[in-house]
Every structure is written in structure tokens, then in C-alpha cells.
Structure 1
Amino acid sequence: MYVMSKTETAIFAGGCFWCMVKPFDEMPGIESVESGYTGGHVANPTYEQVCDGNTGHTEAVKITFDPSIISYKELVDIYWRQTDPTDAMGQFQDRGDSYRPVIYVNSPEQRQVAEASKAALEKSGKFDKPIVTKIEDAKPFYPAESYHQDFYKKNPLRAEIEEMGGRKQFKKDVWKNKE
């Protein structure tokens, strides 16, 4: 008898969503990574509206995953290694409220994992400044326009240029990421 696997979703905001897709997309157990907008007060916002800063949304990724292959805790660990958790008003060259770092949780279990992970990071001594990444309840997620989806595959050079805006060096220096 064929049994379909049960999937879950995780939503992370960590600056430009173009830079947040690839690290998750390449992991076993990930079914999809969708770029979009969440956390705001305007239904179905456009990229331009979010960039204008009046909708309250963050650029984020919604990850659909199979928890029997990759756990939510593993996803949170990957998330931390893509961001500067000490910068509340953007990430690297991307500044402003729509680029703020947020872990959006879908359940009490996700909240518990995210809060424990944040507390462990705070206690680790890895950073001299406070960890300011917020943990908030998930709000409606609105998919971004099609040209934003899988951006690193469609526009690899532009995606690499975005990474070179500080994120790539930060990951190498702080997290010892090899790429």
C-alpha cells in the first residue's frame, strides 16, 4: 500500500528572498521553497508595495518539507547560518523593515524548537551583540511574482552578486561556510 508522506511548512525571513532559497532548496527532504511576502497588513501585496515599506511585510521563503527526512530543527539551524541574527533592520546590503529577520512559526512545537535554538545561539557566545531575530506566529503568506521564484536558477550571476553584498563573506567568517 502506498502512503503519501506528510509534509509540513516552515517560513523564514532573512533579508532578500533570492538569497534564502538555495540553501534550503538543495537539502534532501525539501519539496519546495517559495519566495513571498508575510507578516504584513495588506492582502496580496506586490513587490513594489513591499519595497515601498508601507505594507508591514517581510520578504520570506515558505519551505515545504518532509519531516521524516529533514527536521524543523535542522531547517532552523540552516536558517541561522544564512543570516546575521544581530541585525534587526535588514540583512547585509538589504536595509529596511521588509528585510528584517523573523522566524514565523506554524505551531507550538515549531515555536518551542525556534525559541530553544535562539536561546542556544545566545548562550553560544558566537556573537558579541544580542540576537534580535524575532519569532512570530505565521501570518498569511503571499507568493511573490513568478520572476522571483527560483531566482538563483534563472539568474545565477545576479544571485551571486546579491550574495557578494556581504552575506557570502559573513557566512564564511562567522559560520565557516565553505561557499
Structure 2
Amino acid sequence: MLRIRNVLLCGLILVPPFGMAMASEETASAVFGGGCFWCVEEAFDKVEGVVSTTSGYSGGHVENPSYEQVVDGGTGHVEVVRVEYDPAAVDYATLLHVFWRNVDPFAVDRQFCDEGESYRSVIYTASEEERELAEATRDELSERFDREIVTEISDFEAFYPAEGYHQDYYRKNPVRYNFYKSACGREERLEEVWGDEAGGLGSR
């Protein structure tokens, strides 16, 4: 099913790599891996208080990897999204709430139709406080579902922005994006796991 995304990328005009936006003094950032970064961008862009989202790669040992290197495997990297947000408008706990309800927390080395280490779900924490919050929510979900949550919680080390054509893909290429998302079965699986909570934008 990974072919779906590769086919959708054919024929696109490539633009220069999208630079990593640094958080300002008024904003903070969080990094999440939830499968296809196109879909994760869309999920977090809907959250009030989120300033911007940037698709990229984290968690591996190769500096400035390409998309092809990451999806081929062996780099240790995960497709991630860097979420820049206004802490006065939305807190990290809310971002975690949205993250969980946009992933399949039981899937090992995959999310929906995309398979491989680069599609595993991960929360990259940048402080002890973030780690404690992430672990607490994971443990709550494990108790709720009475099964193991396989989503990783790892220390954040580095973020490498993805190529420019990946940024805001769902906005720039809505027809291709919606075809991919539908064919991948993402929404159906989220509803199967989370029911009315799927997407995470409802009441907490």
C-alpha cells in the first residue's frame, strides 16, 4: 500500500527543501510520529492554538535524510510532525490527547496501510515534564483498553524537515491526498479504535 503515496508524488513540481521553523519566545514545539506525516499535519492544524506544523524525520542516526532513505528503512528515522503551538492557547496535555486519537496505538512498525519502522508511532519528549505526561496518558490508555500500548516514548534529539513537496500536502493536493487517505483506511481504523473520540477534537 506504500505504493499509493509514491504514485501520488509522481508528476509533482519539486520545490526547495522546507526550512525548519524555530519556535519563537511566545511558542513551544512538540514532535509526534503517527504514520503518514501528511495526515498528522492535517490533524494538528485543526487544533486551536497550533501555529504551524512541519513534516520531517526524527529518531534515527542519519543526518538530513531523504524521504527515500527513510521509507526504505535502515536509518532509524520516523516520519514525524513538528507542532509549533502557543502555550497560552493550548497545552501539551491537549496535544497528547489529539495525538493518541489520531493513531492506532496497538500497531507495531506500521500505521494503517503504511508498513515499516518509519511508520511506527512515537512521542518525542523534550523535557521530564513532557515524558511524565506522555507516560501517564499511555498508562491510562493501557488500563482503559486492557492491552499493551506499543507507541514509543523517546527523548527528542533532532528534527530534519522533509522535502518541500511534502509540506502542507493535504492542502496543496487535496484530490490526491483524499484518495490516499481513503485507500489507506485511516479514518475507518481510527473510528474502530476510538469511536466518537476519533480525531480528538471533541470534548475531553
Secondary structure in 1 aligned to 2:139? Answer: helix
In 2, Cα distance between equivalents of 1:137 and 1:131:
18
- Name 2:9's counterpart in structure 1: none
**How far is 1:5 from its partner?**
6.1
Paired letter, 1:172: E
In 1, Cα distance between equivalents of 2:134 and 2:178:
29
- Name 2:153's counterpart in structure 1: 135
Q: Does 1:49 align with 2:104?
A: no
> Comparing 165-174 with 20-29, which one deviates more in the overlay?
165-174
Kindly provide the CA deviation profile for residues 4-27 of structure 1, in whole angstroms up to 9, marking residues without a partner as x. 862111100011101110111121
Secondary structure in 2 aligned to 1:76? Answer: helix
In 1, Cα distance between equivalents of 2:161 and 2:143:
35
Q: 1:26 aligns with which of 40, 46, 50?
A: 46
Kindly provide the CA deviation profile for residues 137-158 of structure 1, in whole angstroms up to 9, marking residues without a partner as x. 0021000000000011011122
Q: TM-score, normalised by structure 2?
A: 0.81
- Name 2:181's counterpart in structure 1: 163
Secondary structure in 2 aligned to 1:102? Answer: strand
- Name 1:144's counterpart in structure 2: 162
- Counting matched residue pairs gives 174
Matches within 5 A, 1:115-134: 115-125=135-145, 129-134=147-152
**How far is 1:166 from its partner?**
1.7
Paired letter, 2:63: A
Kindly provide the CA deviation profile for residues 93-129 of structure 1, in whole angstroms up to 9, marking residues without a partner as x. 000000001000011111011011111111112xx64
Query: Which segments of 5 or more consecutive residues in structure 2 lack a partner in the other structure?
Result: 1-23
Paired letter, 1:131: I
Q: Detail structure 1 runs of 4+ shifted over 2 Å in the superposition.
A: 176-179
- Name 1:174's counterpart in structure 2: 193
Paired letter, 1:159: Y
**Fraction of identical pairs, as percent:** 47
Secondary structure in 1 aligned to 2:48? Answer: coil
**How far is 1:75 from its partner?**
0.4
Q: TM-score, normalised by structure 1?
A: 0.92
Q: Is the 8 A contact 1:37 1:143 kept in 2?
A: yes
Q: Is the 8 A contact 2:59 2:157 kept in 1?
A: yes
- Name 1:66's counterpart in structure 2: 86
In 1, Cα distance between equivalents of 2:141 and 2:40:
20
Paired letter, 2:191: K
In 2, Cα distance between equivalents of 1:166 and 1:130:
22
In 2, Cα distance between equivalents of 1:136 and 1:51:
20
Q: CA RMSD in A?
A: 1.6
Secondary structure in 1 aligned to 2:141? Answer: helix
In 2, Cα distance between equivalents of 1:161 and 1:168:
12
